[in-house]
Amino acid sequence: QSALTQPPSASGSPGQSVTISCTGTSSDVGAYNYVSWYQQHPGKAPKLLIFEVNKRPSGVPDRFSGSKSGNTAALTVSGLQAEDEADYYCSSYAGSNNLGVFGTGTKVTVL
Amino acid sequence: QITLKESGPTLVKPTQTLTLTCTFSGFSLSSSGVGVGWVRQPPGKALEWLALIYWDDDKRYRPSLRSRLTITKDTSKNQVVLTMTNVDPVDTATYHCAHKPSGTYGVLGYWGQGVMVTVSS
């Protein structure tokens, strides 16, 4: 299982939107609607933001939204805030006989 | 409230065996569909799945590390243990355990803070 491909970095000004892509294969992202997104601040544990492509756990602001088309998923952060500056990782289920697979990670900078 | 906490050595010598313990609360690993996974993150690098154990003792391992990893659970103690044999400096990383909620696929809902393990002589 190869890591999912994400852009190394993304940026936006406060109030703007930023979208992060996550490209996998027909064996992971393309095969299942089980894509998750995690936010990780420096020195902290990852935090679940999105699961099952576009569902948000309780407490996650609706500024965070997810989507998927074919083998590529995306996370959009709308109304960027300073505290959104962090690393973001996508992850996909890869079948019952496998572990999941994480993305390469994207550092989001709020300008 | 679900919490998880990793414990184990912070420094291990090459070729030794690393044993990490995840102690959790707020859920039962005997509940259908629940799992506990281990994920590591080398310094400055991305997250990597290592292993996952389900409520029914089914287990999954990272293929490239399958021969070196063992994951076990002690439901009565609310603990999951990950053992990695023959460690190498490339295994230097922060190791996290995390909760897989019932009814989800590939999701890690709650994470421990992690333990930084350095492999060095």
CB contact under 8 A, B109 and A57: yes
- Give every CB contact of residue A32 below 8 A, 6+ residues apart in sequence: A92, A93, A94, A95, B105, B106
For residue B50, list chain A residues with Cβ-Cβ distance below 8 A: 99
In this prediction, residue B24 carries a pLDDT of 98
What is the rounded CA–CA span in Å between residue B41 and residue B45?
Answer: 6
Is B37 an 8 Å CB contact of chain A?
A: yes
Whether the pLDDT of residue A63 is over 90: the answer is yes
Using alpha carbons, list the distances in angstroms from residue B120 to B41, B68, B89: 17, 18, 6
Q: Is B56 left (phi over 0), alpha (psi -120 to 50) or beta?
A: alpha
CB contact under 8 A, A48 and B105: no
CB contact under 8 A, A52 and B104: yes
- State the average pLDDT for chain B: 97
Percent of chain B with pLDDT over 70: 100
In this prediction, residue A19 carries a pLDDT of 98
Residue in chain A closest to B37 (alpha carbons) equals A99
**Concatenated DSSP letters of B82-111:** EEE-S--GGG-EEEEEEEE-TT-SS---EE
Backbone angles phi, psi at B32, to 5 degrees: -55, 130
CB contact under 8 A, B51 and A92: no
- Of B106, B110, B111, which is closest to A93 when you measure between CB atoms? B106
Using alpha carbons, list the distances in angstroms from residue A71 to A26, A68, A106: 6, 8, 18
In this prediction, residue A97 carries a pLDDT of 83
Smallest CA–CA separation between B98 and chain A, in Å? 10
Beta bridge partners of A65: A76
The distance from CA B11 to its chain's CA centroid, rounded to whole angstroms, is 17
In tens, the pLDDT along A22-49 reads 999 999 999 999 999 999 999 999 999 9
Is B116 an 8 Å CB contact of chain A?
A: no
Q: Is B110 buried (19+), middle (13-18) or exposed (0-12) by CB count in 10 A?
A: buried
Smallest CA–CA separation between B108 and chain A, in Å? 7
What is the rounded CA–CA span in Å between residue A21 and residue A76?
Answer: 9
CB contact under 8 A, A34 and B107: yes
In tens, the pLDDT along B20-54 reads 999 999 999 999 999 999 999 999 999 999 999 99
- State the average pLDDT for chain A: 96
What is chain A's alpha carbon radius of gyration, rounded to the nearest angstrom? Answer: 13
Percent of chain A with pLDDT over 70: 100
For residue A38, list chain B residues with Cβ-Cβ distance below 8 A: 47, 108
What is the rounded CA–CA span in Å between residue A103 and residue B56?
Answer: 28
Residue in chain B closest to A58 (alpha carbons) equals B109
Residue in chain B closest to A98 (alpha carbons) equals B60
